[in-house]
């Protein structure tokens, strides 16, 4: 008998809060049972791409066994790294060519943890571009702007879950936003 891997939806978010560092968050839902796990934390000395990677690593490492994972993110950095760069970095020993020399990639420790997790999990990445545009305004983000960007992300995520429900009507899906 062939056992299929359970399917999870993984939402990762990171927000840079200025000189105080930033926050990362992941929400993980097993699609068959609707069971939701989430975690978030502040990192005083981290920002931007490293926060996004940390959220992804923590989310993948929270899955109890091998699984199919649909990553939902607003990060084009994660999408690019997972789809294009990761196989190349692995092949080149976690180095890349820069100005005629070979230098270590940035955040190699986290990318290696992602790579290790992908030996167990089958990952598909879905990037929500509308939320990306909403979160990158031309003026510095005020709390209201961040709230609006998060609201847009939640609405897009709800549409994504609705589309999956249409494709797989026998599966029970929900998403906890609170």
Q: Report d(CA 108, CA 106) in Å as an integer.
A: 5
Looking from the CA of 75 toward its CB, the CA atoms found within 13 Å total 26
Q: Report d(CA 68, CA 6) in Å as an integer.
A: 6
What pLDDT does 22 receive? Answer: 83
Mean pLDDT of 104-124: 94
Answer whether residue 66 shows pLDDT above 90. yes
Answer whether residue 143 shows pLDDT above 60. no
* pLDDT band, very low/low/confident/very high, at 158 (cuts 50, 70, 90): low
Domain boundary assignment for the chain: 7-167
Q: Are 75 and 12 in contact (CB under 8 A)?
A: yes
Token pair 């029970």 in the structure block, residue: 172
Percent of the chain surpassing pLDDT 70: 70
Q: Which residue has the higher pLDDT, 170 or 76?
A: 76
Answer whether residue 130 shows pLDDT above 60. no
What pLDDT does 49 receive? Answer: 87
* pLDDT band, very low/low/confident/very high, at 153 (cuts 50, 70, 90): low
Which CATH code is given to the segment(s) 7-167? 3.30.420.10
Q: Report d(CA 7, CA 21) in Å as an integer.
A: 33
What pLDDT does 69 receive? Answer: 94
């Amino acid at each position: 008998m062939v056992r299929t891997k359970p399917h999870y939806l993984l939402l990762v978010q990171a927000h840079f809060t200025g000189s105080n560092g930033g926050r990362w968050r992941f929400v993980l839902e097993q699609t068959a049972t609707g069971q939701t796990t989430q975690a978030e934390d502040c990192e005083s000395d981290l920002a931007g791409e490293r926060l996004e990677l940390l959220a992804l690593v923590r989310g993948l490492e929270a899955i109890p066994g091998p699984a199919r994972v649909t990553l939902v993110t607003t990060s084009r950095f994660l999408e690019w790294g997972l789809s294009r760069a990761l196989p190349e970095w692995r092949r080149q020993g976690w180095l890349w060519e820069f100005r005629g020399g070979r230098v270590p990639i940035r955040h190699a420790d986290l990318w290696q943890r992602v790579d290790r997790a992908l030996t167990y999990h089958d990952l598909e990445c879905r990037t929500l571009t509308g939320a990306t545009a909403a979160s990158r305004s031309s003026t510095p983000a005020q709390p209201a702007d961040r709230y609006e960007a998060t609201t847009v992300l939640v609405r897009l995520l709800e549409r994504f879950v609705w589309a999956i429900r249409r494709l797989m009507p026998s599966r029970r899906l929900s998403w906890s936003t609170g």
